[in-house]
Structure 1
Amino acid sequence: MSKLLEKIHSPADLRNLSENELSQLCEEIRNTIIDTVSSNGGHLASNLGVVELALSLHLVFHLPDDSIVWDVGHQSYPHKLLTGRYDQFATTRTQGGLSGFPSREESAYDILTSGHASTSVSAALGIAEANFVQGKDDFSVAVIGDGALTGGLAYEGMNNAGRAKRNLIVVLNDNTMSISKNVGSVARHLTYIRTRPSYIRIKKNLENAVMKIPLLGKYLVRILKGFKVAVKKFFYKSTLFEDMGFTYYGPFDGHSIKDLTRILESVKLVKKPVLVHVVTNKGKGYKYAEKSPSEYHGISGFDVLTGERSSSSKSFSDIFGKVLCDLAAKNDKICAITAAMQDGTGLSMFREQYKNRFFDVGIAEEHAVTFAGGMAARGALPVFAVYSTFLQRAYDQMIHDVALQNTKMILAIDRAGIVGEDGKTHQGLFDTAYLQTIPNVTLYSPSYFNELEAQLTYLVEEGEKLCAIRYPRGIELFKPKDFIPTADSYQVYGEPDAEFAIVTYGRLFSFAATAYHSLKQKGIALKIVKLNRIIPIDKQAVKEAAKCRTVFFYEEAILQGGIGEHFSYLLQKEAFIGKYRIKAIEDPFVEHAPMFYALEALGLSASSIEETIFQEYKEMKVGNKIEKEA
Structure 2
Amino acid sequence: MKDYKPKPGTLLEHIRTPDDLKKLEPEQLQEVCDQLREFIIDTVSVYGGHFGASLGVVELTVAMHYVYNTPGDRIVWDVGHQAYGHKILTGRREDFHTNRKYKGISGFPKRSESEYDTFGVGHSSTSISAGLGMAIARDLDQSDRKIVSVIGDGAMTGGMAFEALNNAGALKSDMLVVLNDNNMSIDPNVGALKEYLAEITTSKTFNKMRDEIYDLLGHLKGAGEKMRKVASKLERTAVAAITPGALFQALGFKYYGPVDGHNVDALRRHLEDLRTVSGPKLLHIVTVKGKGFAPAEREQTKWHAQSSPFDKITGKSLAKATTGKTPPPKYQDVFGEALVELAAKNEQIVSMTPAMPSGSSLWPMMNTFPDRAFDVGIAEQHAVTFAAGLATEGKKPFAALYSTFLQRAYDQVIHDVAIQKLPVVFCIDRAGLVGADGPTHHGLYDVAYLRAVPNMIVSSPMDEQELRDMMYTASEYDEAAWAIRYPRGRSTGMDLRDGFEKTDIGKGRIIREGDKVAVLSFGPIGNYVTEATEALMDDGIDIGHFDMRYAKPLDTEMIDYVLEHYEHIITLEDGTCLGGFGSAVAEYVAGKGVAVPVKIMGVPDAIIEHGTQRELHDEVGIGPAGIVENVKKSLGILV
Task: Bin the TM-score by the shorter chain.
Answer: over 0.9
Measured after TM superposition, the shift of residue 554 of structure 1 is 1.7
Percent same amino acid among aligned pairs? 38
1:590 lines up with 2:608 in the alignment = yes
What is the alpha-carbon distance in structure 1 between the residues aligned to residue 331 and residue 22 of structure 2? 49
Other-structure match for 2:219: 206
Identify which range, 353-362 or 267-276, moves more after superposition: 267-276
Read off the aligned partner of 1:430 and give its amino acid letter: Y
SS of the residue corresponding to residue 156 of structure 1 reads helix
Measured after TM superposition, the shift of residue 268 of structure 1 is 1.8
Read off the aligned partner of 2:313 and give its amino acid letter: L
The gaps in structure 1 that reach 5 residues or longer are 211-216, 623-630
Other-structure match for 2:621: 603
**Aligned match of 1:414 in 429, 437, 448?**
429
What is the alpha-carbon distance in structure 2 between the residues aligned to residue 181 and residue 249 of structure 1? 11
The answer on whether the counterparts of 1:479 and 1:510 sit within 8 Å (CA) in structure 2 is: no
Other-structure match for 1:222: 229
Residues 434-453 of structure 1 mapped to structure 2, 5 A cutoff: 434-453=449-468
What is the alpha-carbon distance in structure 1 between the residues aligned to residue 244 and residue 360 of structure 2? 38
Q: Which deviations, in whole Å up to 9, do the C-alpha atoms of 1:343-394 show, x marking residues without a partner?
A: 0001111111000001111000000000100000000111110000000001
- Which protein is bigger by CA-based radius of gyration? 1
Measured after TM superposition, the shift of residue 426 of structure 1 is 0.2
What is the alpha-carbon distance in structure 2 between the residues aligned to residue 128 and residue 486 of structure 1? 56
The answer on whether the counterparts of 1:414 and 1:472 sit within 8 Å (CA) in structure 2 is: yes
Other-structure match for 1:541: 558
Measured after TM superposition, the shift of residue 479 of structure 1 is 7.5
Read off the aligned partner of 2:599 and give its amino acid letter: R
The answer on whether the counterparts of 1:313 and 1:475 sit within 8 Å (CA) in structure 2 is: yes
Question: Given the superposition, is the C-alpha separation of residues 537 and 226 from structure 1 closer, same or farther in structure 2, using an over 3 Å criterion?
Answer: same
What is the alpha-carbon distance in structure 1 between the residues aligned to residue 597 and residue 198 of structure 2? 67
- Cα RMSD between the aligned structures? 2.2
Measured after TM superposition, the shift of residue 586 of structure 1 is 1.7
SS of the residue corresponding to residue 442 of structure 1 reads strand
Identify which range, 574-583 or 243-252, moves more after superposition: 574-583
Read off the aligned partner of 1:173 and give its amino acid letter: N
Measured after TM superposition, the shift of residue 427 of structure 1 is 0.2
Measured after TM superposition, the shift of residue 589 of structure 1 is 1.9
Other-structure match for 2:529: 512
What is the alpha-carbon distance in structure 1 between the residues aligned to residue 36 and residue 478 of structure 2? 51
The answer on whether the counterparts of 2:569 and 2:598 sit within 8 Å (CA) in structure 1 is: yes
Question: Given the superposition, is the C-alpha separation of residues 478 and 517 from structure 1 closer, same or farther in structure 2, using an over 3 Å criterion?
Answer: farther
The answer on whether the counterparts of 1:447 and 1:476 sit within 8 Å (CA) in structure 2 is: no
Read off the aligned partner of 1:27 and give its amino acid letter: D
Read off the aligned partner of 1:575 and give its amino acid letter: G
Residues 77-226 of structure 1 mapped to structure 2, 5 A cutoff: 77-145=84-152, 147-176=154-183, 180=199, 183-190=202-209, 193=211, 203=216, 205-210=218-223, 217-226=224-233
**Aligned match of 1:476 in 485, 491, 512?**
491
1:577 lines up with 2:586 in the alignment = no
TM-score (norm 2): 0.91
Read off the aligned partner of 2:203 and give its amino acid letter: G
Question: Given the superposition, is the C-alpha separation of residues 486 and 598 from structure 1 closer, same or farther in structure 2, using an over 3 Å criterion?
Answer: farther
What is the alpha-carbon distance in structure 2 between the residues aligned to residue 188 and residue 231 of structure 1? 11
SS of the residue corresponding to residue 84 of structure 1 reads helix
The gaps in structure 2 that reach 5 residues or longer are 1-6, 184-193, 322-326, 496-500
Measured after TM superposition, the shift of residue 308 of structure 1 is 2.8
The answer on whether the counterparts of 1:36 and 1:92 sit within 8 Å (CA) in structure 2 is: no
Other-structure match for 1:625: none
SS of the residue corresponding to residue 335 of structure 1 reads strand
Other-structure match for 2:73: 66
Other-structure match for 2:186: none
1:50 lines up with 2:63 in the alignment = no
The answer on whether the counterparts of 2:431 and 2:443 sit within 8 Å (CA) in structure 1 is: yes
Question: Given the superposition, is the C-alpha separation of residues 587 and 136 from structure 1 closer, same or farther in structure 2, using an over 3 Å criterion?
Answer: same
What is the alpha-carbon distance in structure 2 between the residues aligned to residue 336 and residue 479 of structure 1? 27
Other-structure match for 1:528: 545
Residues 344-383 of structure 1 mapped to structure 2, 5 A cutoff: 344-383=359-398
What is the alpha-carbon distance in structure 1 between the residues aligned to residue 414 and residue 121 of structure 2? 26
1:555 lines up with 2:570 in the alignment = no
Q: Which deviations, in whole Å up to 9, do the C-alpha atoms of 1:60-106 show, x marking residues without a partner?
A: 11111111111121101011111111001111000111111000111
The answer on whether the counterparts of 1:5 and 1:86 sit within 8 Å (CA) in structure 2 is: no
The answer on whether the counterparts of 2:150 and 2:177 sit within 8 Å (CA) in structure 1 is: yes
Measured after TM superposition, the shift of residue 307 of structure 1 is 1.4
SS of the residue corresponding to residue 133 of structure 1 reads helix
SS of the residue corresponding to residue 615 of structure 1 reads helix
The answer on whether the counterparts of 1:409 and 1:467 sit within 8 Å (CA) in structure 2 is: yes
Question: Given the superposition, is the C-alpha separation of residues 385 and 237 from structure 1 closer, same or farther in structure 2, using an over 3 Å criterion?
Answer: closer
SS of the residue corresponding to residue 464 of structure 1 reads coil
What is the alpha-carbon distance in structure 1 between the residues aligned to residue 245 and residue 146 of structure 2? 26
The answer on whether the counterparts of 1:388 and 1:416 sit within 8 Å (CA) in structure 2 is: yes
The answer on whether the counterparts of 2:604 and 2:620 sit within 8 Å (CA) in structure 1 is: no
SS of the residue corresponding to residue 456 of structure 1 reads helix
TM-score (norm 1): 0.92
The answer on whether the counterparts of 2:428 and 2:486 sit within 8 Å (CA) in structure 1 is: yes
What is the alpha-carbon distance in structure 2 between the residues aligned to residue 225 and residue 205 of structure 1? 11
The answer on whether the counterparts of 2:217 and 2:228 sit within 8 Å (CA) in structure 1 is: no
SS of the residue corresponding to residue 61 of structure 2 reads helix
